[in-house]
Amino acid sequence: MLNIVLFGPPGAGKGTQSERLIEKYGLVHLSTGDIFRANMKGETELGLLAKSYIDKGQLVPDEVTINMLRSEVLKHHDPKGFIFDGFPRTNNQASALDSFLTETGTEISVMLALEVEESELKVRLKKRAEVSGRADDANPEVIANRIHVYNAETAPVKDFYQEQGKFVSIDGIGSIDEITHRLFEAIDKL
Ligand code: ADP
């Protein structure tokens, strides 16, 4: 199986690039942000809980997120692989992911980390706010908090994969096609 963690700060382009990767490698796309938003739209219990965190730019608690992701993984029988987009976002989530992939007889192949500097992220998120309709994109304080949470809690997840020799850094600046090409190259080298 080819199991990819697509990593990067808010606005790095994970969603856009995921679509390209799914198409080329036939992977199952699991985006925790998309799953939370679908639940928010459907006003499920999970959605209401998630909303109370997402609207403030905070992370949804690990236990909730891990259980949700785990049940999504188990829904798929015999997939070619997964692309994890927006997960893991804490070291706790990363070790939980390792354990349950081990249980199902597989493992993470690589973490591809899209690197984009903070000033560019703010510009992209502001632009996205005009089209996404996402409340968490519209408010500069919420954006600042998401970037803060990323630096404090999520960026350390890189070390987790670095220690396993699975970390690959990808320059996230350039055209969408250029970045896709960099990702394809990194995967084809595995
Ligand atoms: P972005 O990458 O633009 O921040 P996402 O769509 O990945 O957006 O996530 C939106 C929000 O959903 C996050 O700010 C966070 O509140 C919540 N979320 C997504 N993934 C996770 C996760 N793995 N753990 C905790 N919260 C998460």
Residues with CB under 6 A from ligand 1: 10-11, 14, 32-33, 36, 53-54, 57-60, 65, 86-87, 89, 93, 136, 146
pTM as predicted:
0.95
- 82, 89, 148: residue to mutate for ligand 1 pocket, most atoms within 8 A of CB: 89
Contacting residues for 167 by C-beta, under 8 A, at least 6 apart? 110, 111, 113, 158, 161
Nearest Cα residue to atom 19 of ligand 1: 33
Q: Looking at residue 166, what is its pLDDT?
A: 98
In a domain, 180, yes or no: yes
How much distance in Å is there from the Cα of 64 to the middle of ligand 1?
A: 13
Task: Please state, rounded to an integer, the average pLDDT across all residues of the chain.
Answer: 96
| Active-site residue set | 14, 89, 128, 134, 146
> How far is residue 135's CA from residue 96's CA, in Å, rounded to a whole number?
29
The count of domains in the chain is 1
User: Could you tell me what percent of the chain has a pLDDT over 90?
Assistant: 96
Q: 């690959």: which residue's tokens?
A: 168
In a domain, 89, yes or no: yes
Domain residues for 137?
2-184
Band (55; pLDDT cuts 50, 70, 90): very high
Nearest Cα residue to atom 5 of ligand 1: 33
In a domain, 190, yes or no: no
In a domain, 167, yes or no: yes
Q: What is the number of other CB atoms lying within 10 angstroms of the CB of residue 27?
A: 20
For residue 94, give the CATH number of its domain.
3.40.50.300
In a domain, 189, yes or no: no
Band (74; pLDDT cuts 50, 70, 90): very high
**Nearest alpha carbon to residue 11 among 130, 91, 121:** 121
Mean pLDDT on 57-74: 97
**Alpha carbon distances (Å) from 12 to 33, 42, 64, 175:** 14, 27, 24, 12
